A and B are shown apart, each in its own frame.
Chain A
Amino acid sequence: MPRRLLLPVTLLAVAVLLGSACTSSPPPPQGGQGGTLQLAYLADMAQADPDVFYDIEGNTVILSVYEGLLKYKPDSTEVIPSLAEKWEVSPDGLTYTFHLRSGVKFHDGTPFDAQAMKTSFQRRLDVGAAPAYMVQPIASMQTPDATTFVVRLKHPVAPFLHYMASSWGPKAISPKALADHAGKDHAQTWLKEHADGTGPFQLTAFERGQRYELTRFDGYWGQKAHVDKVEIRIIPDIGTQRLQLQSGDLDAILHSFPQAELESAKSNPDLQVRDFSSFLNNILYLNTNKKPLSDPALRKTLAGALDRDSLVKEVYGPYATPSSSTYPSGLLDPALAPVAYPPSETTAAAGGGSKLTFAYTADDSGVHRRLAELVQQRLDAAGFSVAIKEVQLPQVFEYVNDLQAAPDMVMQTNTPDGAHPDMWARIEWYSTGGLNYLGYKSPQADKLLDQALETTDQATSDRLYGGAGKIVARDTAIIFVADPRDVMVLRKNLTGVAHVPNYPWALDLAALQKG
């Protein structure tokens, strides 16, 4: 009897789900030094190969195990030394000379040198995956001595230093590991689930779908990690993570904490709620390629009907500011590419009954859904007829292949690859941009961006980026909704919390202490 079983089976499933929340707890940490840091991911990171990895969930692992030439200072966009102690840039912007740190070893004991860096760069070019664009402008690389690494570019690249500091930028991978496990694919198979870098942690376990384990690397050149181990478990349900955080089985939730429960978390004596500035940007894309939003006037009407500022306040509370620019705040002077969506006096017939489909990506904090439903409510009241549906990110990437069948509106929260306006505009509204989901095309904006990329003078470059942004703003093709902060909820006993705006959902694990 199938249907008579539906209810008991459902109940059983619920019981199992609840039961999975009560997994065994790890051993209690000692105060101060040592202990195991318990973290969780909502999804498997798919792979640990730094030349292929292009997600956000997984940053903590990559950044703990590998290092690039440069990195960002906590709470700022300033580029500071990492494996390169100092560097020079030629006036024509074509030659970068990096002076590397000495005495650095890989996890397997191999010493780090310029040749190793060159090998890693070359490998990234050879693998040619998503992050490879950062090394594609390179014309040639030289290693005059063990601590000097010279890179010559084909043309000036304004954000090049930010490429080096990006969490997806080129990392130093042990040449021995690359050679030993080269196989036929430049060691991709091995690096999927193993790691050999110079970072403060080693990847000691990678159980796909279950857990990853990082162990302190005592041979690290810098400040050694305080904790002995980091265990990252895959817990796909944010509610379960929250319960575990409350009971002490988890030490921190680094992202997607249910927005609705931040208040109660704040008043919980065992927890601390921290929010950091970030380059996250909540965006509403409009499909300019088909009716009805191919009409610019209607797009403006829509933007006005949103009452965007009150929308942001209602959903995010104190944890986001309404976007004031087409660029995330901190990336570019907002005055260069401002946006504003003042609420307009919309009558109930303003929308003219236009039917709109609105897709939003599922996010565990519940923010996207609430935003989407509020948008629906307000647009419906203004005479539109909005049908919303929740989709998964891979679906969103498919829309560009058939824009007529794609939804009229898509909502997503994105972050730039690095702290440079080019690393935002190029992916967001460049005609071939990877995050230009609904295929907005402006040849004018494209031209400005191409120009800006090769401009060596910072001020001119900024102005050009601003110009490109102004075009998008004028077209109302993309509505920039909010600049959310990176919100994390940690156990009260965690100290040494260091966050970089451009490394979203991640903390410096080496700096963290328990107890």
Chain B
Amino acid sequence: MAASEPVLSPVELTRRRRAWAGWVRLGRLERGGLVVLALTTAVALLAPLLAPNPPTTAVPAGSFAAPGTHGLLFGSDDLARDLFSRVLYGIRASWLSALAVIASGVLIGGLIGTIAGIAGGWIDTALMRFTDLFLALPAAVLVIAVVAALGPSLPHTLVAVGIVWWPWYARIVRGEVRAQAVRSHVDAARLAGVGRTRLALRHLLPGAFPAVLVTASLDVGSLVLILAGLSFIGLGSPPPAPELGAMAARGMPYLLGHPWIPLAPAIAVFLLAVAANLAGDGLRDLLEDH
């Protein structure tokens, strides 16, 4: 029989159209979130280049310079430091810290969840109960305890937060792996002769990716807030390090006289969290397509 050449489906030709369709489908708010997400990451990475002054040295204009004067966009704080530069560095610290915690959570949790999801049986039970143990830990108390034991510094705080963060990812990945495991493409791959490890890595794990990505993107917002809260109560880099939460806490006494000192970092935290959440929504909407 002459092979009737099926015309390559027009679907393939419009791949770009599909990506555009995905973008078009997003509401304005989610689009804004993704844009801000991109901008924030850029700012976080380029802060040392963007900041007009170093974040801890005194500027000639002196303390309490009002925003917009002496070439200082946000004015200066009570130690004559450029608030705009400090906020930029603070964004960098918050953003990169949040990403670091999430990355560690995804790696550790992902590993445990994958093993549990694939192995099943008692390994699964044991690992999941182990995960539950960490879930049951009171996060705030644990962080305080760890930091008290190790001393206040940003890496110590991140380690402590990382300890309580990975269990969520373990659960998600395990759930997704198990969901994938019952789908027929896994059977088909098994029939095709794919070995167990390859089956797990190529045919099960990538299915968990969208869920993990969405959770991670939403987590960025939560983490920014939590890290800011922790540095607000003194668990973070010790002064004079620029950290948004610590800056807001230090600036509180000046709220009535020189409000920009605590408000600038506080608003920065708020915007970061909002951007991260909107971007997370946007990513989820985009991924729902698949």
A and B touch in the complex (CB under 8 A): yes
Residue positions of A touching B, CB distance < 8 A: 2-4, 6-7, 10, 239, 258-261, 263-264, 314, 366, 369-370, 373-374, 376-377, 380-381, 387-390
Q: Is B150 an interface residue (CB 8 A)?
A: no
The reply to whether A2 and B238 contact each other, CB–CB distance below 8 Å, is no
The reply to whether A389 and B79 contact each other, CB–CB distance below 8 Å, is no
In the complex, A13 Cα to B12 Cα: how many Å? 55
Q: Closest A residue to B233 by CB, please name it.
A: A10
A270: min CB distance to chain B, Å: 15
In the complex, A369 Cα to B238 Cα: how many Å? 13
The reply to whether A261 and B225 contact each other, CB–CB distance below 8 Å, is no
The reply to whether B137 and A10 contact each other, CB–CB distance below 8 Å, is no
User: Residue B240 contacts which of A261, A370, A373 (CB distance < 8 angstroms)?
Assistant: A373
In the complex, A4 Cα to B250 Cα: how many Å? 26
Contacts between the two chains (Cβ within 8 Å), count: 63
Q: Is B138 an interface residue (CB 8 A)?
A: yes
Contacts of B252 in A (CB 8 A): 239
A405: min CB distance to chain B, Å: 13
Interface on chain B toward A: helix, strand, loop, or mixed SS? loop
Q: Is B239 an interface residue (CB 8 A)?
A: yes
User: Residue A3 contacts which of B79, B139, B234, B239 (CB distance < 8 angstroms)?
Assistant: B139
The reply to whether A314 and B222 contact each other, CB–CB distance below 8 Å, is no
The reply to whether A264 and B256 contact each other, CB–CB distance below 8 Å, is yes
Looking at the complex, which of B56-64, B109-117, B172-180 is the stretch in contact with chain A? Answer: B56-64
Q: Is B229 an interface residue (CB 8 A)?
A: yes
In the complex, A263 Cα to B253 Cα: how many Å? 13
Contacts of B23 in A (CB 8 A): none
The reply to whether A3 and B164 contact each other, CB–CB distance below 8 Å, is yes
Q: Closest B residue to A378 by CB, please name it.
A: B58
Contacts of A314 in B (CB 8 A): 63
Interface on chain A toward B: helix, strand, loop, or mixed SS? helix
Contacts of B78 in A (CB 8 A): 260, 370
Q: Closest B residue to A369 by CB, please name it.
A: B250
The reply to whether A7 and B58 contact each other, CB–CB distance below 8 Å, is no
A48: min CB distance to chain B, Å: 31
The reply to whether A261 and B257 contact each other, CB–CB distance below 8 Å, is yes
In the complex, A377 Cα to B257 Cα: how many Å? 23
The reply to whether A366 and B56 contact each other, CB–CB distance below 8 Å, is no
Q: Is B254 an interface residue (CB 8 A)?
A: yes
Contacts of B107 in A (CB 8 A): none
On whether A2 and B254 interact (CB within 8 A), knowing A370-B78, A373-B239, A377-B79, the answer reads no
Contacts of B46 in A (CB 8 A): none
Contacts of A10 in B (CB 8 A): 229
A475: min CB distance to chain B, Å: 29
Q: Which of B126-163 contact A (CB under 8 A)?
A: 135, 137-140, 152
Contacts of A366 in B (CB 8 A): 253
Listed A/B pairs (26) with beta-carbon separation below 8 Å: A2-B135, A2-B139, A2-B164, A3-B165, A3-B222, A6-B139, A6-B140, A7-B229, A10-B229, A239-B252, A260-B254, A260-B257, A260-B258, A261-B256, A261-B257, A370-B79, A373-B79, A373-B239, A373-B240, A377-B56, A377-B57, A380-B240, A381-B57, A388-B238, A388-B239, A390-B234
Contacts of A373 in B (CB 8 A): 79, 239-240
User: Residue B58 contacts which of A258, A260, A377, A387 (CB distance < 8 angstroms)?
Assistant: A377
Contacts of B56 in A (CB 8 A): 377, 380
Residue positions of B touching A, CB distance < 8 A: 56-58, 63, 78-79, 135, 137-140, 152, 164-165, 222, 225-226, 229, 234, 238-240, 250, 252-254, 256-258
Contacts of A264 in B (CB 8 A): 256-257
B169: min CB distance to chain A, Å: 13
The reply to whether B239 and A374 contact each other, CB–CB distance below 8 Å, is no
Shortest beta-carbon contacts, A-B, top 8? A2-B139, A366-B253, A3-B139, A258-B253, A260-B253, A260-B254, A260-B257, A373-B79
B239: min CB distance to chain A, Å: 6
In the complex, A2 Cα to B132 Cα: how many Å? 12
Contacts of B256 in A (CB 8 A): 261, 264
A203: min CB distance to chain B, Å: 33
Contacts of A239 in B (CB 8 A): 252-253
On whether A6 and B79 interact (CB within 8 A), knowing A260-B257, A377-B56, A377-B240, the answer reads no
Contacts of B222 in A (CB 8 A): 3-4, 7
A515: min CB distance to chain B, Å: 27
In the complex, A10 Cα to B227 Cα: how many Å? 13
The reply to whether B229 and A6 contact each other, CB–CB distance below 8 Å, is yes
Known: A6-B226, A377-B58. 15 other contacts (CB 8 A): A2-B138, A3-B164, A4-B222, A6-B140, A6-B229, A7-B226, A260-B258, A261-B253, A264-B256, A314-B63, A366-B253, A370-B78, A376-B240, A380-B56, A390-B234
Q: Closest A residue to B223 by CB, please name it.
A: A3
The reply to whether A376 and B239 contact each other, CB–CB distance below 8 Å, is yes
Contacts of B165 in A (CB 8 A): 3
Contacts of B225 in A (CB 8 A): 6-7
Q: Closest B residue to A390 by CB, please name it.
A: B234
The reply to whether A389 and B139 contact each other, CB–CB distance below 8 Å, is no
In the complex, A258 Cα to B251 Cα: how many Å? 12
On whether A387 and B238 interact (CB within 8 A), knowing A258-B253, A380-B56, the answer reads yes
Q: Closest B residue to A376 by CB, please name it.
A: B240
Q: Closest A residue to B63 by CB, please name it.
A: A314
In the complex, A45 Cα to B6 Cα: how many Å? 91
User: Residue A2 contacts which of B137, B239, B258 (CB distance < 8 angstroms)?
Assistant: B137
Contacts of A260 in B (CB 8 A): 78, 253-254, 257-258
Contacts of B152 in A (CB 8 A): 389
In the complex, A414 Cα to B138 Cα: how many Å? 40
In the complex, A3 Cα to B258 Cα: how many Å? 33
Contacts of B139 in A (CB 8 A): 2-3, 6
Contacts of A258 in B (CB 8 A): 253
In the complex, A435 Cα to B238 Cα: how many Å? 27
Contacts of B57 in A (CB 8 A): 377, 381
B13: min CB distance to chain A, Å: 45
In the complex, A436 Cα to B26 Cα: how many Å? 67
Contacts of B250 in A (CB 8 A): 369
In the complex, A294 Cα to B225 Cα: how many Å? 43
B261: min CB distance to chain A, Å: 9
B215: min CB distance to chain A, Å: 12
In the complex, A259 Cα to B240 Cα: how many Å? 20
In the complex, A6 Cα to B233 Cα: how many Å? 13
In the complex, A264 Cα to B258 Cα: how many Å? 11
In the complex, A261 Cα to B252 Cα: how many Å? 11
A330: min CB distance to chain B, Å: 30
In the complex, A239 Cα to B257 Cα: how many Å? 13
In the complex, A390 Cα to B239 Cα: how many Å? 10
A11: min CB distance to chain B, Å: 10
In the complex, A246 Cα to B134 Cα: how many Å? 48
Contacts of B79 in A (CB 8 A): 370, 373-374, 377
Contacts of A390 in B (CB 8 A): 234
Output the residue of B222, B253, B256 with the most chain A CB within 10 A: B253
Output the residue of B58, B78, B252 with the most chain A CB within 10 A: B78
The reply to whether B254 and A3 contact each other, CB–CB distance below 8 Å, is no
